[in-house]
Structure 1
Amino acid sequence: MKQHYDFLLFDLDGTISDPIEGIGRSINYALEHYGYAPLLRDAQSPWIGPPLFHSFRAYTGRDDEAHLHELVAKYRERYADVGYAENTIYPGIAEALQALADTGVPMAVCTSKRADFAQRILELFGIARHFSFVDGGDIHIEKWEQMAKLRERGIVTEHALMIGDREFDMLAAHRNGLSAAGVLWGYGSREELAAHAPAHLLAATAELHALVPLCEGSRS
């Protein structure tokens, strides 16, 4: 018997939109401000997904929390100004979201990004109307903890599906008893995602349409 879903949770970066330009430039804005070497483009991809605090700590080798907070704040300075608008929505996402919304199953965004930044990106692409809410992260908050709070509050149940492009999305879902769908157009490799046994592994945005008949109350 196929699993049916009563709620869809979407990651944002690498799942709905490609954030590499805005994130990469904002990372380098912060790094260079504090005298660090900028990241080359090929080295920026691993920063998409994990909380920024952890990535800055790994890159700088510093455990000074005050300094790491400064780096995050400097990053957000540029990101809030122009970086968020340097996102590009993946082709086919708007159409897939409309098809899923038409089933009547509620959808929301669960992202490590700050909620106000995420909301601005959704509005930029004209897709904010599809989501009941945006659950955003912050320093020292892991995605599994965000999802745990949604479970504790009864907002999502074990019948929800988490859709994301990195292992952090798969792990967060499974830790909270949810199913997960891995997407391969983002920043996680097939090997990274398959290692966590997602219920679905989607190679192209058009494959999101395959979830339509699995949504409870589907009108398709």
Structure 2
Amino acid sequence: MLRIITDFDGPIMDVSERYYRVYQFCLESIRRAEQPIHILTKAEFWHCKRSQIPEREIGRRSGLDETQALEFARLRKQTVHTLPYLVHDVVVPGAIEGLERIQQAKIELVVMTMRRVQELDAALHQYSLERFFPLRCRYCLSNDYAKTSDVQDKTLLMGQALLELPSVPQTWMIGDTEADILSAQAHGLPVVAVLSGIRDRTQLAQHHPNAIVSHLGAALDYILNHASLTAISS
């Protein structure tokens, strides 16, 4: 049997509108009255995020001074994963079809995300995605988890999943960030990076995934073409 572990935001959910609205909120909250600012377009902002431009630099490019930029980065981190903004996420075009194809191929499907339980459950319910991920196949952070870094937290979560899930001949990871790539590599898993998320090709290539493809469906095609025959047929 073949198993695919997929990240949630990026391969399945498009978070760009949420991130952009939080950017606008933080910018308006930090600016002084009558202070001239330059609000980046959504395309400009998302290019910065995908290129891993630091939050403080995004604040500075938007017209904030250094002190304001630090506060902007702090407020953004505090706000971006709150439930009022999570409602702005939408499903990546073609992602549901990709998930259906995985199910139809009898591949075990596991979601692994840095969302907390309440954040993941809300999205699964909002977009009727529970059918793809039974409770035993959902790996996320507890609601009171004290986050460290995405790489460290996801690597720990990956280790937990591999200990708890039944043994299978082969497991692959699909993700859109360095945390997905490095956590899979830390546990000896092949990983396919997708460009539908928050990192561009240049950033992903630095971490040497097995492949970089456009979206979830293309990742499945790559996996089916490169997974061992034993894993696929078991």
Work out whether the TM-score is over 0.5: yes
| Distance in 2 separating the partners of 1:197 and 1:74 | 31
Structure 1 match to 2:11:
15
Deviation at 1:140, TM superposition (A): 2.2
| Corresponding residue number in structure 2 for 1:147 | 155
Q: Unpaired runs of 5+ in structure 1?
A: none
- Offset, 1:204: 4.2
Question: Match for residue 105 of structure 1?
Answer: 107
- Map 1:23-172 → 2, pairs under 5 A: 23-35=19-31, 40-41=41-42, 42-47=44-49, 56=55, 71-76=76-81, 79-81=82-84, 83-131=85-133, 132-136=137-141, 139-152=147-160, 154-155=163-164, 159-172=170-183
Alpha-carbon separation, structure 1, partners of 2:89 and 2:51: 14
Query: Which amino acid is the alignment partner of residue 4 of structure 2?
Result: L
Alpha-carbon distance in structure 2 between the residues aligned to 1:206 and 1:100 = 9
Q: Percent identity?
A: 19
TM (norm. structure 2) is: 0.68
Matched pairs, number: 210
Counterpart in the other structure of 1:197:
208
> What SS is found at the alignment partner of 2:128?
coil
Task: Note closer, same or farther for the CA distance 1:107–1:40 as it changes in structure 2 (3 Å cut).
Answer: same
1:113 aligns to what SS in structure 2? Answer: strand
Cα deviation, 1:116-174, whole Å, max 9, x if unaligned, reads 22332232222222122141486423234323243146036794322112233212221
CA distance in 2 between partners of 1:93 and 1:106 (Å): 16
Secondary structure at 2:115's aligned position in 1? Answer: coil
Q: CA deviation at 1:31?
A: 3.9
Which residue is 1:181 aligned to? 192
